[in-house]
């Protein structure tokens, strides 16, 4: 395997990439368990694809911020190493597909030359920090949350406490009470507030969508900004210790909060405070210096109806006087690499080069002088970027579905393309509607956020005698309410996938005919009720007279076949005994390195990790339960009675010392020595057998 060549100046990043290359080599030579390798590559943004032998690479763009040069860099690697498509996600990431595993270190090194990372974009880590695309320009915001979101990203990136949790953690920062970042469905959601002249956040905790959507709970109506990161670290420590690790469908933070209750959970969070590196974490904020583009020479433009329609649906005034933002809808979130250069040139010429990706899978240009709008529109139109309807009903959100995802059941992309055609051809007046969005997911995991839409579609299958046809679950009535509150869409009924456009037509036709003047979709839906829509759409769910075409999903050519692989994005690693002890040794070495660099909090966590993995290795050897860190902590002593005789205290007492001491040099050294002794003792015990 040929080593990548790099011009990187950051030794930490270079070490990351070298480690990935080394682990690939180890895996290729059958020296590493496949499940362990999966966990490692996922934490580096490399995700197994539906198609065998190729990978999806997820690029992490904190707050969705991306410059023109970064656009060019990503397009270049998409062309050289993937299939050339850039797929924008609902977490403000970019995904590349059909990448060979052996190419991922080189691809990553090339991305890093423009400060683009893949680190912790997948796996059981803290995922990309999402932020309202209007953060910093929102006339309704108390203050710009962007620098605080950026501080959170940098604090937890490569932080040892969140490298191998039971499941992922998702965090969002909204810019205002409108809550455009959907704080109510995040593990941790933040909304800026000001009290008595102090900056802080309303904080929501324990939300999530997926198969079992749960609304987050408010835990602070106001917490000072300097206290937010310590609070988050304490939350993550509790989740890391007590969160489920074996039962994948119960391993998210929302289930731990639900089973304990919020009061018990917050008590556990408070118990972690003494062991934190600091009780406050000041965040230095500088006022953003907006770099405006050069003035343009006057150019004539015929102001026509298309321009006015585009301006009404895609252009938004900023809080900065005289500046506007412009939304570019991206069909199915897909951008061919060949089109990126025209976008990059437009960004540099007409904007302040502060582009954001949105959670609606679209592109948002910021800091456009009002005088540039006509010429910007002309440039967008000439390059086919001027489609009207940014974050409107025709700007449909869709996950990759069966195109590339292992878990896909339905074709989100194909259905999205057909519904967009229906809307723009037959319902152009709907493009001006506020609070009417369509979201599509290829399975129940809700990567397309279908449970949050006023009109949602979920890919499913349906049995017709001995045959299987693609189907769609129709959901209605979801959306955000503001102030950290929202509602999940109702599941109305399931129809054959080919009937989905007809179902949409029935819904929109009835909405147009029976809404009250100025009435939004959800109040209209509530007025009629779920059963009314079930009865109205019921005729479309019949399967007695399906045609051969009904057995072919949207965007497909062949007959539908339900084929679900193993999901990786939040998969739980099944560790082998030797792998656990190997990981314990790696954690010990990481702890020693951290101590030598005076990173005492990191050294303490790695020492904790060493003891925990060694104990898990022993309990796995005995075939005992290891479904959470707390289970391991409580389970070693009963299954190893001689431990207390050897060390003078129980394992539980020794390992939990980290919660009773400030992370100073003296305790870090003592705790590291303790971890080394316990690891050596358990390794020897396992080597000698159960006796």
Tokens of 359: 């959670």
Beta bridge partners, 115, equal none
For the chain, give every residue range classified as CATH 3.90.480.20. Answer: 11-112
pLDDT at 568: 54
The domain covering 135-275 belongs, at the CATH homologous superfamily level, to Sulfite Reductase Hemoprotein, domain 1 (3.30.413.10)
In angstroms, the CA 26 to CA 22 distance is: 6
- Asked if 233 and 271 count as a contact pair (C-beta separation under 8 A), the reply is no
* H helix and E strand count, the chain: 21, 22
Polymer length of the chain: 691
pLDDT at 50: 83
Does the pLDDT value for residue 89 go beyond 90?
A: yes
Query: Regarding predicted confidence, which is higher, 3 or 587?
Result: 587
Which CATH architecture is the domain 11-112 placed in? Alpha-Beta Complex (3.90)
| Reported confidence tier of residue 565, pLDDT bands at 50, 70, 90 | low
Q: Please provide the average confidence, as pLDDT, over all residues in the chain.
A: 92
**Vertex 123, ends 180 and 90: CA angle to 5°?**
25
Residue 215 reports pLDDT greater than 70: yes
pLDDT value of position 567: 52
As given in the structure block, the two tokens for residue 635 are 């389970």
Domain(s) labelled CATH 3.30.70 in the chain stretch across 316-382
Question: What is the spatial distance between Cα 387 and Cα 381, in angstroms, rounded to a whole number?
Answer: 8
pLDDT exceeds cutoff 50 at 14: yes
449 touches 183 (CB < 8 A): no
For CATH 3.30.413.10, the residue range(s) in the chain are: 135-275, 397-551
Residue with tokens 């506020």: 434
CATH architecture of 397-551: 2-Layer Sandwich (3.30)
pLDDT at 281: 96
User: Once rounded to an integer, what is the mean pLDDT over residues 253-281?
Assistant: 95
pLDDT in the model for residue 574: 35
Check residues 434 and 300 and name the one with the higher pLDDT.
434
pLDDT tens column, 307-351 = 999 999 999 999 999 999 999 999 999 999 999 999 999 999 999
Confidence band, pLDDT 50/70/90 cuts, at residue 230: very high
**pLDDT of 523 strictly over 70:** yes
Pick the CATH number of 577-688 from 3.40.50.2300, 3.40.50.2000, 1.20.120.330, 1.10.3720.10: 1.20.120.330
**pLDDT tens, position by position, 73-85:** 999 999 999 999 9
Highest mean pLDDT among 9-13, 185-189, 558-562: 185-189
Which pLDDT band, with edges at 50, 70 and 90, does 580 fall under? confident
**pLDDT number for residue 19:** 84
Q: Express as a percent the part of the chain with pLDDT over 90.
A: 76
- Give the pairing of strands 467-476 and 315-317: unpaired
Give tens-digit pLDDT for 364-423.
999 999 989 999 999 999 999 999 999 999 999 999 998 888 888 999 999 999 999 999
pLDDT value at 569 more than 60: no
- Among the listed residues 603, 665, 690, the one whose alpha carbon sits nearest the alpha carbon of residue 161: 603
pLDDT tens profile 458-504: 999 998 888 899 999 999 999 999 999 999 999 999 999 999 999 99
Give the pLDDT band (50/70/90) at residue 513: very high
Note whether 496 and 469 are within 8 A (CB).
yes
Q: Please give the Cα distance from 621 to 36 (Å, whole number).
A: 17
Give yes or no for a contact between 475 and 213, defined as CB atoms under 8 angstroms apart. no
In the chain, ranges of CATH 1.20.120.330 domains = 577-688
- Secondary structure string (H, E, C) spanning 488-527: CCEEEEEEEHHHHHHHHHHHHHHHHHHCCCCCCHHHHHHH
Domain 316-382 has CATH 3.30.70: yes
| Residue 293 pLDDT | 81
pLDDT tens figures, 40-82 = 788 888 988 888 889 999 999 999 999 999 999 999 999 999 9
In the chain, the percentage of residues whose pLDDT exceeds 70 is: 95
d(Cα 20, Cα 42) in Å, to the nearest integer? 11
What is the predicted pLDDT for the residue at 571?
37
Identify the burial level of 620 via C-beta atoms within 10 angstroms of its C-beta, where 0-12 means exposed, 13-18 middle and 19 or more buried: buried
Global confidence as pTM:
0.90
Residues sharing a CB contact under 8 Å with residue 308, sequence separation 6 or more, in sequence order: none
Residue 4, pLDDT > 70, answer no
Question: Would you say 254 and 187 are in contact if contact means Cβ atoms under 8 Å apart?
Answer: yes
Q: Which of 113, 177, 190 is nearest to 151 (CA)?
A: 190
């Amino acid at each position: 395997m040929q080593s990548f060549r790099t011009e990187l100046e950051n030794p930490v990043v270079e070490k990351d990439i070298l480690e990935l290359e080394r682990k690939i080599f180890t895996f290729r030579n059958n020296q590493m368990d496949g499940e362990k390798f999966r966990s490692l590559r996922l934490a580096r943004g490399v995700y197994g694809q539906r198609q065998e032998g190729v990978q999806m690479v997820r690029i992490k763009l904190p707050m969705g911020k991306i410059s023109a040069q970064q656009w060019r860099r990503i397009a270049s690697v998409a062309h050289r190493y993937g299939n050339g498509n850039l797929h924008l996600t609902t977490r403000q990431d970019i995904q590349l597909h059909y990448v060979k595993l052996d190419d991922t270190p080189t691809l990553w090194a090339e991305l890093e030359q423009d400060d683009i990372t893949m680190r912790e974009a997948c796996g059981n880590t803290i995922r990309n920090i999402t932020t309202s695309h209007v953060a910093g320009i929102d006339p309704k915001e108390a203050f710009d949350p962007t620098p605080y979101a950026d501080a959170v990203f940098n604090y937890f990136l490569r932080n040892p406490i969140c490298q191998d949790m039971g499941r992922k953690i998702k965090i969002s920062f909204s810019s205002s009470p409108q809550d455009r970042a959907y704080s109510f469905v995040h593990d941790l959601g933040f909304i800026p507030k000001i009290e008595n002249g102090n900056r802080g956040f309303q904080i929501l905790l324990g939300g999530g969508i997926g198969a079992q959507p749960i609304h987050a709970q408010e835990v602070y109506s106001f917490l000072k900004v300097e206290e937010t990161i310590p609070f988050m670290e304490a939350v993550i420590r509790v989740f890391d210790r007590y969160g489920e690790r074996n039962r994948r469908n119960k391993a998210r933070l929302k289930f731990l909060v639900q089973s304990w209750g919020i009061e018990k959970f917050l008590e556990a969070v408070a118990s972690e405070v003494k062991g934190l590196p600091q009780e406050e974490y000041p965040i230095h904020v500088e006022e953003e210096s907006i770099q405006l583009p050069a003035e343009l020479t006057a150019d004539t433009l015929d102001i026509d109806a298309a321009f006015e329609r585009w301006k009404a649906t895609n252009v938004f005034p900023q809080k900065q006087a005289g500046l506007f933002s412009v939304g570019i809808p991206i069909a199915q979130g897909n951008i061919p690499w060949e089109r990126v250069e025209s976008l990059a040139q437009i960004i540099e010429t007409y904007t302040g080069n502060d582009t954001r990706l949105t959670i609606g899978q679209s592109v948002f240009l910021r800091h456009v002088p009002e005088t540039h709008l006509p010429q910007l529109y002309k440039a967008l139109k000439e390059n086919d970027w001027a489609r009207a309807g940014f974050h409107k009903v025709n700007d449909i959100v869709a996950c990759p579905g069966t195109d590339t995802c292992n878990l896909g059941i339905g074709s989100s992309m194909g259905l999205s393309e057909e519904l967009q055609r229906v809307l723009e051809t037959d319902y152009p007046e709907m493009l001006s509607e506020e609070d009417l969005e369509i979201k599509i997911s290829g399975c129940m995991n809700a990567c397309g956020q279908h449970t949050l839409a006023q009109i949602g579609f979920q890919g499913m299958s349906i049995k017709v005698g001995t045959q299987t046809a693609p189907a769609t679950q129709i959901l209605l009535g979801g959306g955000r309410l503001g102030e950290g509150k929202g509602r999940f869409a109702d599941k109305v009924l399931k129809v054959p996938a080919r009937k989905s456009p007809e179902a949409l037509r029935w819904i929109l036709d009835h909405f147009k005919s029976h809404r009250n003047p100025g009435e939004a979709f959800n109040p209209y839906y509530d007025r009629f009720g779920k059963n009314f829509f079930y009865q109205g759409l019921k005729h479309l769910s019949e399967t007695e007279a399906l045609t051969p075409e009904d057995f072919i999903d949207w965007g497909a050519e062949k007959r539908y076949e339900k084929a679900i692989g193993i999901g990786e994005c939040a998969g739980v690693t099944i560790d082998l005994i030797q792998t656990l002890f190997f990981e314990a040794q790696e954690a010990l070495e990481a702890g020693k390195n951290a101590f030598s660099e005076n990173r005492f909090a990191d050294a303490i966590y790695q020492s904790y990790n060493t003891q925990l993995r060694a104990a898990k290795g022993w309990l796995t050897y005995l075939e005992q339960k290891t479904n959470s860190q707390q289970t391991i902590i409580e389970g070693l002593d009963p299954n190893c009675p001689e431990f207390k005789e050897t060390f003078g205290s129980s394992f539980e007492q020794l390992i939990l010392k980290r919660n009773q001491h400030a992370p100073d040099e003296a305790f870090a050294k003592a705790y590291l020595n303790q971890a080394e002794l316990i690891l050596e003792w358990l390794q020897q015990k396992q080597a000698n057998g159960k006796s």
